[in-house]
Structure 1
Amino acid sequence: MDNSDLRQKISVQYCFPNNNGSCRKEVRVGPGNLFLFIVLSCISVGTVVLNLLVIISISHFKQLHTPTNLLILSLSVADFLVGLFVMPVKIMQIFDSCWYLGELACCISEIIIGILVLASLCNMVFIAVDRCIAITHPLLYSTRVTPFKMSVSIILGWSFCLLYLTIFMYSNDHLTPSQIYSRCYGECVVFVKYPWVITSVVIFFLTPCAGILVLYIIIFMVARRQAKAIRAVINQASKKMPSSSETKAAKTLGIVIFFFLAFWIPFYVSSLTVTNLTTLSVVWTVFGWLMCMNSTVNPVIYAIFYPWFRASAKYILTCRIFKSASSVLNLHREHT
């Protein structure tokens, strides 16, 4: 072995130098990568902070303990976990080729991501159903949809996501519905078979999204018809018509669902064109991050369209929620 070969061998870095089966270590450095690291880190921190504000707001202020807000709370929990867990892991995988957490953690990370994806879809379906009942049956909404019933539905929804993934894991003799490949120690690469991609698109995307779109078509058709009725019979009791707050809530949550579809459709559509989809592919990296950024956008939408969120955020950031009786404050009156 000459000196050049020896120098080349010495310069090679491994993920675990004391392990003979360790993978080679590739760390992406440079000004461009540093800038990207800062941007993605800020997105991750922003996602955690904004969704944490939503979680604290709805949990602390009793006025916000409504069925619709409980759904927003459930969605914010999923978004919060995306910013706290999924984004940092994805950042680590982008800038460092090594996986230091072990094979079990690699499998668990994919399970958690799967649960959060399914939970987000579940929450979106529940939101559409909730708004449909509120608009089409405004007089019966308070009796049909209660905070207790909504809490039970949310718990069942999350439980279903966990149960489904558990059943799928053991029925396929894998820890996840995907396959974890480790060519060497210190690698976490997920290989998704094409049949699973098709199944995922049909069952976990097209079907719930089609249901959401149908429900919102019904919502806006009914809202439009009732708006005409209000103009035609303006002297009749307005309590028989949906309140403006209900219509506004439907529109706001409709925007949330629109952005949800806009951020998720590219990944699912592009994945159909890839025969072998892995976590190392550009499709997985770019559009996967686009999906994650939907968790950042949701609380921004709340801040723009919900005055109660802006009021509660001020109380939280100024630590006034620690004052006595702060939980019973009228947040709507703060912005009237």
Structure 2
Amino acid sequence: MNITEYHQNMTVEYCFLDNNSSCRKEVRTGLGNIILFIFLSCIIICNVFLNLLVIFSISHFKQLHTPTNLLILSLAVADLLMGLVVMPVNTMQLRDSCWYPGKMACTLFLIINSISMSASLCNMVFIAVDRYIAISDPLLYSIKVTVCKMSLFIILGWSCSLLYVLIYLYFNDHLLPSQIMSRCHGECILIIKSSWVIIDLVISFLCPCSVIVILYSIIFTLARRQAKAVRSILNATSNRHRDKVSKSSNSKAGKTLGIVVCVYLATWIPFCLCSLSVQNITSLSLVWTVLAWLISINSSVNPLIYAIFYPWFRASAKYIVTCRLFNLSSSTFHSFSKHI
């Protein structure tokens, strides 16, 4: 698309006709933009649908009330916030660049946006720690990790995420509506001060990324070691059965490690590299928009990684989709035993 065609697909108006300081309104039209909006809408629908399935499954079926599943539930709630609030608002601003609700709503939106990403990362770290304990000390796992303890850790994680977000927005002058400085009336932008770029990079990327990579590397090593131990025990059995066990153990560990780490890094590394290359980052920039959508799409992929790959999720999703959820005894459905 050349410059002439681009301007033909964008009609410039004003957000508020009765306000002299109103921002310019950019309404994007054209076939390319329509296809983009349809694509983003499909992602939002998938995000909401999949995360709601995870939430309903774990919340409703008592047999799924395990410490690990509570983490998956918490992750789904964080990702659902992204799908219900952040992604629709960002899509509408792609269509219409104006912000009409006001400064208070702008502050609330920035808080929800930040806490959904922060809580999602926090839950991913907790999942890595949970899996490490489960594979490193499986005999004492049920004693060390209980539903009550996990619930407290989840509450602590969300509380720390909220506290960090409030501090982050306060020192970047976006927490209070009176602090928000806008160039014109009708915009809601987030400007990150250069002094906070490094701080946020360490807290929101380097620390959780290092923990996840290190723990999953250890998990992968332990899984291979355990697979070798199983092969030695099965020396007296047939070669077919031995090869099947070995292949299954290594394949599962490798797949989990690869998917979790690669998707996490692929969605966050571009943003972090860009953060280091500029003095100030504004949410109006094209680069910010693309990188923010990469992170948002990660919230849609999370339920695929942490839930759809679990057989119990497929069983519970089928149960819910076929409308058997409304049976009086549905919460005590016990056909998940072979899937957990």
Aligned mates of 2:295, 2:163 — CA distance in 1? 23
Q: CA deviation at 1:275?
A: 2.4
Q: Deviations over 1:166-212 (max 9, x none)?
A: 34445666517xx8441111111222122212211112100111111
Aligned mates of 1:36, 1:169 — CA distance in 2? 30
Aligned mates of 1:297, 1:182 — CA distance in 2? 34
Tell me if the contact between 1:312 and 1:331 (Cα under 8 Å) persists in the aligned partners. no
Q: Deviations over 1:123-182 (max 9, x none)?
A: 011111101100000000000001111011001100111122234445666517xx8441
Aligned residue number for residue 62 of structure 2:
62
Aligned mates of 2:160, 2:111 — CA distance in 1? 14
Q: TM-score, normalised by structure 2?
A: 0.85
Aligned mates of 2:203, 2:304 — CA distance in 1? 29
Aligned mates of 2:148, 2:111 — CA distance in 1? 29
Aligned residue number for residue 274 of structure 2:
270
3-state SS in 2 of match to 1:99: coil
> Relative to structure 1, is the Cα distance of residues 335 and 145 closer, same or farther in structure 2, using a 3 angstrom cutoff?
closer
> Gapped runs of 5+ residues in structure 2?
1-10, 237-247
Aligned residue number for residue 286 of structure 1:
290
Aligned residue number for residue 240 of structure 2:
none
Aligned residue number for residue 45 of structure 1:
45
Alignment of 1:117 with 2:121, yes or no, is no
**What one-letter code is carried by the residue in structure 2 that aligns with 1:83?**
G
Aligned residue runs from structure 1 range 122-137, under 5 A: 122-137=122-137
Q: TM-score, normalised by structure 1?
A: 0.86
Aligned residue runs from structure 1 range 78-227, under 5 A: 78-170=78-170, 174-175=174-175, 180-227=180-227
Aligned mates of 1:281, 1:172 — CA distance in 2? 18
Aligned residue number for residue 28 of structure 1:
28
Aligned residue number for residue 256 of structure 1:
260
With 120-129 and 158-167 compared, the bigger mean Cα shift is at: 158-167
> Relative to structure 1, is the Cα distance of residues 146 and 329 closer, same or farther in structure 2, using a 3 angstrom cutoff?
same
**What one-letter code is carried by the residue in structure 2 that aligns with 1:284?**
W
Tell me if the contact between 1:129 and 1:215 (Cα under 8 Å) persists in the aligned partners. yes
Aligned mates of 1:64, 1:248 — CA distance in 2? 21
What is the aligned length?
Answer: 317
Q: CA deviation at 1:264?
A: 1.6
Tell me if the contact between 2:25 and 2:98 (Cα under 8 Å) persists in the aligned partners. yes
Tell me if the contact between 2:67 and 2:145 (Cα under 8 Å) persists in the aligned partners. yes
Alignment of 1:295 with 2:304, yes or no, is no
Tell me if the contact between 2:223 and 2:253 (Cα under 8 Å) persists in the aligned partners. no
**What one-letter code is carried by the residue in structure 2 that aligns with 1:321?**
L
> Relative to structure 1, is the Cα distance of residues 135 and 251 closer, same or farther in structure 2, using a 3 angstrom cutoff?
farther
Aligned residue number for residue 327 of structure 1:
331
Q: CA deviation at 1:39?
A: 1.0
Aligned residue number for residue 313 of structure 1:
317
Tell me if the contact between 2:173 and 2:180 (Cα under 8 Å) persists in the aligned partners. no
> Gapped runs of 5+ residues in structure 1?
1-10, 237-243
Percent of aligned pairs sharing the same letter: 64
Q: Deviations over 1:38-82 (max 9, x none)?
A: 111111111111110110011111111111111111001011110
Q: Deviations over 1:209-230 (max 9, x none)?
A: 1111111121111222222122
> Relative to structure 1, is the Cα distance of residues 204 and 150 closer, same or farther in structure 2, using a 3 angstrom cutoff?
same
Q: CA deviation at 1:108?
A: 1.8
Superposition RMSD in Å: 2.7
3-state SS in 2 of match to 1:272: helix
